[in-house]
Amino acid sequence: MDHSGHGMTMDLPPFTLGRALEFSPDLFFLIGCVAGLGLYGWGVARLRKRGDAWPVSRTVFFAVGVLSIALVMCTKLNDYGMVMFSVHMVQHMVISMLSPILLLLGAPVTLALRALPVAGRGSTGPRELLLKLLHSRYMRIITHPAFTISMFIASLYGLYFTPLFDTLMGSKAGHIGMMVHFLMVGLVFFWPIMGVDPGPHRPGYVMRMLELFAGMPFHAFFGIAMMMATEPLVEVYKNPPASLGIDALTDQNAAGGIAWAFSEIPSVLVLIALVYQWYHSEQRQAVRKDRQADRDGDKELEAYNAYLASLQGRPSQ
């Protein structure tokens, strides 16, 4: 029996983790993941060839981020996600909230700007186009908190509580487009907050934390609403294949629990990253001040000592 709406037979056996992790590639995401790893590897190799360093940790973060996308899109998790709301929600949460954070910690934009060659005078190459895009009005709009937070929230409520989700799930292209949308929304939401790569908006650390927490309550409430629903909310998951042996409402409640739990995971990861960045920023600033003091002979301290000496030399009243 075809339950997916785009030509895939979905009479799957009951869900087990072993079955779900079997290789079952989606060609679009398989090619995208291989290309992403290849381009990143080319950039790192180019830097190393000319003697420039690139942190191994960034390479590891990016690779794990790409593999997390492959995990949910190139295994039978993707097949089960077509007929089980709970598995689909795992895909959604990973690709929109975990994968973007890992990819951004890999600093791919910084790597591209350092690895791409500078075009000759009067010509425009890939590096120049990337810089132009980073400084464009379009990029300023889509990375502004008013846009990113709104899009982050709308991607939940506007998708699952309207017929749009059923429409997208009815075709292969629609399903791929939806997953790409989840990934892109996650990237533009976390990009200014992470602050690893250059971008139009580079708010201070406190503001980044506020932006992070602005969207999370809506995310948690979405999960709670799913858990408390007394009837299936999404048409495509109302009648799961009998071969799965699951109840649609129970599965939907599980999906809500997954969405609620995932609202906490990225918050913790991003907070750890922000505190780490903040600490190292303060350390670098302290080092710069020490170097400045060494260069100018610590003029501030000398001036203060002279001021104290002048006070001591004044006649008493």
Helix axis angle for 265-296 and 299-313, nearest 10°, is 60
Lowest mean pLDDT among 159-168, 195-204, 245-254, 279-288: 279-288
Other C-beta atoms closer than 10 Å to the C-beta of 200 total 17
Predicted confidence band at 221 (pLDDT cuts at 50, 70, 90)? Answer: confident
User: Is residue 226 scored above 80 in pLDDT?
Assistant: yes
Arithmetic mean of pLDDT, 163-178? 93
Helix axis angle for 126-134 and 108-115, nearest 10°, is 140
C-alpha 79/C-alpha 7 separation (Å) is 12
Predicted local distance difference test score (pLDDT) of residue 262: 81
Tokens standing for 245? 């042996």
C-alpha 186/C-alpha 38 separation (Å) is 22
**Residues whose CB falls within 8 Å of the CB of residue 170, separated by 6 or more in sequence, listed in order:** 5, 6, 236
Tokens standing for 283? 């350390």
0.85 surpassed by pTM: no
- Burial (CB < 10 A; 0-12, 13-18, 19+), residue 122, is exposed
User: Is residue 7 scored above 50 in pLDDT?
Assistant: no
Domain coordinates in residue numbering, the chain: 17-117+126-311
User: Concatenated DSSP letters for 205-258?
Assistant: HHHHHHHHHHHHHHHHHHHHHHHH-SS---GGGSS--GGG---HHHHHHHHHHH
Which H or E run includes 70?
Answer: helix 56-73
User: Is residue 69 scored above 80 in pLDDT?
Assistant: yes
Percentage of the residues of the chain whose pLDDT score is greater than 90: 45
DSSP 75: B
User: Concatenated DSSP letters for 46-109?
Assistant: HHHHTT----HHHHHHHHHHHHHHHHHHSBHHHHHHTT-HHHHHHHHHIIIIIHHHHHHHT-HH
Predicted local distance difference test score (pLDDT) of residue 298: 61
DSSP 23: B
C-alpha 242/C-alpha 11 separation (Å) is 8
Tokens standing for 244? 């799965």
H and E: helices and strands count for the chain:
16, 0
**Residues whose CB falls within 8 Å of the CB of residue 15, separated by 6 or more in sequence, listed in order:** 80, 84, 87, 244, 246
The CB-side HSE value for 313 (13 A sphere, CA atoms) comes to 6
Name which of 104, 21, 93, 110 is nearest 66 in CA terms. Answer: 104
User: Is residue 75 scored above 90 in pLDDT?
Assistant: yes
Predicted confidence band at 314 (pLDDT cuts at 50, 70, 90)? Answer: low
- Burial (CB < 10 A; 0-12, 13-18, 19+), residue 186, is buried
Measuring CA to CA, how many Å separate 267 from each of 101, 211, 216, 263? 10, 11, 8, 7
User: Is residue 131 scored above 50 in pLDDT?
Assistant: yes
pLDDT digit string, tens, across residues 270-283: 777 777 777 766 66
